[in-house]
Structure 1
């Protein structure tokens, strides 16, 4: 067609040329759009604007403004449509300064009273976070159309004013205007943020009354809305009304299940979707991997789905999918898989690094700071989620210099300079580094010294009795304690040196409204750490109901005190009350058997775990058995069992045998175990280098300066290395 137009000589015509530029712009063919523009002999403002719109509509902000500059060079004055196109691209790119410059030009040209200009300005300032400017422009529009109202609702939602957005929607209804699908999509977002089920019902009725078709987009939004309003029943009912061929609807219900941590239900829905013949997309897998992160027992299923997903020809180039995987492995405390998955990703964003650093705080705190610096080297801007894990890691390592550097970096980022969450983290960090003066200064600088800040100050005190001093000061300033306050005091009292304070804490809690399962469980642990086994049992029995977590607490306390018989009796009683033991229960019981020399009972329990309870055997069980064998002096059996471990994540069981080898002076076996540990670390490091050079664990070699402290103390360190098992 274009060829025929050129041949006929009409390509130079303004009207025809403008139509061609517009056509090519809409289909994204910018080269032909520019060629059609160049063929117009004397392009006017309409043709120039058509080209600017083509560029802006395809996200080519640089070319759009270059075109605008060329138009100005031709002394062609822009019109309303020109500015609408340019402001729209500024809104999508959040180009605040350029948008303000254009707004000034709009005022100079006297176009600010145009409804189209006002609407795009509301959209622009809303996207740039200047909500007050949105309100100013909105109130200045004398005759508002539905686009004006929709723009203001969207601006409020984007800037955290969801309640105002709901009020604007009521204004639309009162004005006599008919809401559009875009209106409802925006107000659904507002209601989602507020999680108001009654308003969700009202909006659903408004949709039905408005005559808008309940298509996939609206239906899926309603599924997500009901899920956010804690009504899974309504979300499921809405899903059943939708077409089963609509993948977005499946994804919406999956997301609702994940939000409510219904991991099993989400996976069941996923498999049902596959059975219906639908292929999952990236959004599906984000929900599926997030579902597997809901419960530790689902992570193995998530790992299987991970392998299947990428075996189907996908790679790790979708950052959002990979971030959900990182989060899944991170929540299961599997730092190895987090690092491995991270190493496969060709691109990372701030969230990727945040999950990676959070994983490090449990096992490899020394690596968290390195990853933070790596993030900065990739020109990624840290957010609150970036600072928190690295500040915690440096605090727990007691690295005052690095805490100070991080403090300076927080201060240099204006957005976080007065962030109370980060200030509380810094209070904790400086307290852990025994620099209470700086911690106190940050605390005093807080505009509102809320209970969270007091909790941070108390939690990090190296001198545990000082926590109680701060607690008294907090009460004196009329700040009411919360559950975390009492949990902090319980932690501070959990040692035999603090028995008196522990009794005082218990007395305070009994008189508070916070004596619940969580606090009661912590009290059981506290009395156990203080050597008060009888008090632990009294607290346990004082609870109205005993759940699995509470039973695990009393099992762990009994095991800690070497009470094998009592631990096994508690396990039996727990099962009589209808509770099934989990991994924590069995680890406590196996540990108790080890302390009490009950090797036979330990092996019987290990056999029953898989056959009677259907649980997978994990390395922690074997570690307990190895500990029991070591205490019984059966090092040969312990060494044999070490070779049959289910998986190899950390060489902790080897370290356990090593300590018993030293105790029993079994130097030959100790030498073998020592070599195994060293070679394990070297092999681990080599694997990570092969997997895109992922820096996960420290590499130990013959240089004893790199050895862990416990190895240096062993008498066989100076011996010549031999081959491992």
Structure 2
């Protein structure tokens, strides 16, 4: 599913951290110390010269734009030459450039005529080249700099991180920085922490956090970056430890923690944090609101979601497409699809996610016809679809029997070459099984390059539904040969197949496989085992499974009672019905009819009779 950027935890902008030059010792990192040192033998661009010579008159004639730069009123050649002696003025001159062409021309003059070519000027050149996306030229300046400080190193780290093309090179540079005795500042730590998050390098990130604590570099921006780092790895306890110790918090830090909770299935905690944030006087931004709405949807907190909706209408931007989409999604997850449609109709701007959320909401609510109608409107307006849109419309077609529309969608899938998507492929398998077209379903599965447990379970359950029990068992064996581990839904489906074809040997083999996995305690797998053994006439095995189940639901009791009755053990069936009633489960008409049909010729005990007819 393609989500808008505001659904993700906001990145901490490393360029917003001030340069703090107090030293902080960095420990040697075992992982990065193994990396090779970076070579500094880079060729320079044509605007660089190897020697620094006095500026010629012709060169000065080439710089008419100098006088336009704020803070650098170079009204004559002599003044220009004099002001080149002041590094701060040269730095201002460099920073005022409007494009990379100006930076290159100034760089050429500085190299030729500036005798006091200090690290301050180099750092400004590096920063400006990075600002205009010229990483290679920034690196050339860095490599030729005779003296580097923490600002030089951090500027290059940020440059590579901004481009995002070579994280390994950043690690090599950082290793060289540490080996040379470099001591980072706040911006260095923020940059490397963000890098650790991108590379999923939890160990290095924790070491950077230790450096921050040891060097007392904590401030609101650095601590927010640490919180975000732990949130990326789902380590909410680590994130909360940092968050709770922060002496100062801003809206970014609150939003980072709230979003982390919402994304890792801790919706109640996210809502609680949001209430705490408001009580401390912080005004939420659109990122905060979207995360809280997501939490409300996951936790089915409709009342809180409606209250937040009222606040949005009164105090926040009404036409924000991301907030509108999040509101729509919240109502969909709370099964208020008509409220979701009102939000949809009232939005002035909609994006692909908005349309997809509404179509998905209709499909999940059993309103397949409405989903198909909205999908056709979406196509007429030439709005791009994503994989979730396709999955949702296929589900809608399957639920309302729209075989023709579903096949048209399949044709578009083939036309756009997205049939290899694992979610689309699995849904297509389910779709064709739904319409009894087993051959098409098997062909779709065969053509999928990657098949996960969902795809295999779809074909197995489809085979069982269509009465192809033997084929279902064959698919299970093929699935195991490919190294895909079945889940509880797979086992439940294949046990139904064993019951239908009366194959207790295969059922026992599956039972032994279940014993080796974590799915045995699952109440649905247990109920399927009871049903399989009962239908195959092995009541003792069914009783053993029933007795060993740590949790029983209505289906478990029902399967065991009917299993007794169908195998002629009427007294046991009646006794279990009594226990079932005592445990608080209702004895429905199907159970009563089945037991009476199987045991009609016995003498009913008054107690059991009252249990059934009460």
Size of the aligned set, in residue pairs, is 497
Q: Secondary structure at the match of 1:294?
A: helix
- The verdict on how the C-alpha distance between 1:158 and 1:435 changes in structure 2, with shifts beyond 3 A counting, is farther
Question: Are the counterparts in 2 of residues 196 and 229 from structure 1 also a CA contact under 8 Å?
Answer: yes
Matches within 5 A, 1:40-439: 44-50=149-155, 52=157, 54-55=160-161, 58=164, 65-91=171-197, 96=202, 99-100=205-206, 102-111=208-217, 113-243=218-348, 246-295=351-400, 297-307=401-411, 309-310=412-413, 312-362=415-465, 363-368=467-472, 371-372=475-476, 374-375=478-479, 383-390=487-494, 392-393=496-497, 397-398=503-504, 399-400=506-507, 402-411=509-518, 422=525
Q: Secondary structure at the match of 2:449?
A: coil
Aligned Cα root-mean-square deviation (Å): 4.3
Higher helix fraction (1 or 2): 1
Residue 662 of structure 1 aligns with which residue?
A: none
Q: Secondary structure at the match of 1:75?
A: coil
| CA distance in structure 2 between the aligned counterparts of 1:408 and 1:114, rounded to whole angstroms | 52
Q: Secondary structure at the match of 2:399?
A: coil
- The verdict on how the C-alpha distance between 1:135 and 1:427 changes in structure 2, with shifts beyond 3 A counting, is farther
Deviations 1:511-559 (A, max 9, x none): 4xxxxxxxxxxxxxxxxxxxxxxxxxxxxxxxxxxxxxxxxxxxxxxxx
Deviations 1:138-164 (A, max 9, x none): 322232221222222223223333222
User: What is the TM-score when the length of structure 2 is the normalising length?
Assistant: 0.67
| CA distance in structure 1 between the aligned counterparts of 2:194 and 2:167, rounded to whole angstroms | 10
Q: What's the offset of the Cα at 1:134?
A: 3.6
Question: Are the counterparts in 1 of residues 122 and 145 from structure 2 also a CA contact under 8 Å?
Answer: yes
Question: Is residue 2:591 matched to residue 1:489?
Answer: yes
Q: What's the offset of the Cα at 1:271?
A: 1.8
Residue 570 of structure 1 aligns with which residue?
A: none
Give unpaired runs (5+ residues) of structure 2: 1-99, 112-116
- The verdict on how the C-alpha distance between 1:235 and 1:19 changes in structure 2, with shifts beyond 3 A counting, is same
Give unpaired runs (5+ residues) of structure 1: 512-725
Matches within 5 A, 1:596-607: none
Q: Secondary structure at the match of 1:13?
A: helix
Which of 17, 30, 38 is matched with 2:126 structurally?
A: 17
| CA distance in structure 2 between the aligned counterparts of 1:177 and 1:77, rounded to whole angstroms | 35
- The verdict on how the C-alpha distance between 1:244 and 1:184 changes in structure 2, with shifts beyond 3 A counting, is closer
User: What is the TM-score when the length of structure 1 is the normalising length?
Assistant: 0.58
| CA distance in structure 1 between the aligned counterparts of 2:250 and 2:225, rounded to whole angstroms | 13
Higher mean C-alpha displacement, 355-364 vs 215-224: 355-364
Q: Secondary structure at the match of 1:406?
A: helix
